[in-house]
Amino acid sequence: MSTRRTALVTGGGSGIGRAISLRLAENGFATAVLDLNGDAAEQVAEQARGKGYEAVALGGVDVSDRDQVNDAVTRVRKTLGPALVLVNNAGITGYKRFLNISDELWDRMLAINLSGPFYLCQAVVPDMIEAGWGRIVNISSSSAQGGQQYMTHYVASKAGLVGLTKALALEFGPAGITVNTIPPGFVDTPMLRMSEERGLLGGSVDQHAERTPVRRPGRPEDIAAACAFLVSDDAGYITGQVIGVNGGRNT
Ligand code: NAD
């Protein structure tokens, strides 16, 4: 990569987003680590800076709030330059029998997992158009491919993200912007361990690993590696795609 570029990673304070932030910083991107959890975002940015990379934290930003998103993107533009790489990774999960999903739960899930990426994309795409280059990676979920019981609101939000990805790819391909989605499956993060502790996985992480073709849970770094490729110049002919990183659990 010849020029320094700026990457914005949402939910960058934990799990998959943390690994993506550190990997993109390592690959030479000036990296903005956005997270609702300010301490977590600062720790990740600090870790990257400790290795000599350029990174800033955008803590306390809620992706479901359009004003906060616009303000954060403006801050990135001022401190690091326009974000030409966007990774929409922030998300929440939830388990509820379908008939017990309240309007509030449904709205909150959609607001964070789908409206958040919508706001972020609208905020960064004008800069990408001006640059004639951009990369967007949306972190969806393998559950959007195969479904998942008791997670209708989550699965619907992630399936919506797949649709957002495909439609944006068509509209902005001519502008030099690629848009892809990685639907992770079974990645060992705080989110997964919380689900295990609450008995919501239908077995332990180890039992799931035994049923996974590559015989291990995914690592956040597995997702980060795929993401690093998708935001590279080499991936310029890949757009509108669903790139599964799941150890063969979904094919
Ligand atoms: P995680 O809980 O470890 O990290 C999520 C991060 O997002 C946290 O730091 C959290 O503070 C942040 N966040 C949550 N709500 C936010 C908001 N409103 N605004 C800003 N930041 C917010 O989760 P993870 O496992 O690393 O998951 C990352 C993404 O990958 C999520 O979108 C998740 O749905 C998806 N995913 C994960 C798995 C898995 O196996 N871990 C599987 C499928 C999909």
Ligand 1 atom closest to the Cα of residue 194 is 2
Residue-wise pLDDT for 146-192, tens only, equals 999 999 999 999 999 999 999 999 999 999 999 999 999 899 998 89
Measured in Å, residue 21 CA sits from the centre of ligand 1 at 13
The atom of ligand 1 lying closest to the CA of 186 is 40
pLDDT value, residue 3: 76
The parts of the chain modelled with pLDDT lower than 70 are 1-2
Ligand 1 atom at minimum distance from 142 CA: 43
Residue ranges and CATH numbers for the domains of the chain are 6-189+220-235 (3.40.50.720)
pLDDT at 1: 43
- pLDDT (0 to 100) of residue 132: 98
pLDDT of residue 202: 86
Backbone angles phi, psi at 49, to 5 degrees: -65, -35
Positions marked active-site: 154
Ligand 1 neighbours by CB, cut-off 6 Å: 10-11, 13-17, 35-37, 40, 61-64, 89-93, 112, 139, 141-142, 184-187, 189-192
The 3 state secondary structure assigned to the chain is: CCCCCEEEEECCCCHHHHHHHHHHHHCCCEEEEEECCHHHHHHHHHHHHHCCCCEEEEECCCCCCHHHHHHHHHHHHHHCCCEEEEEECCCCCCCCCHHHCCHHHHHHHHHHHHHHHHHHHHHHHHHHHHHCCEEEEEECCCHHHHCCCCCHHHHHHHHHHHHHHHHHHHHHHHHCEEEEEECECCECCHHHHHHHHCCCCCCCHHHHHHCCCCCCCECHHHHHHHHHHHCCHHHCCCCCCECCECCCCCC
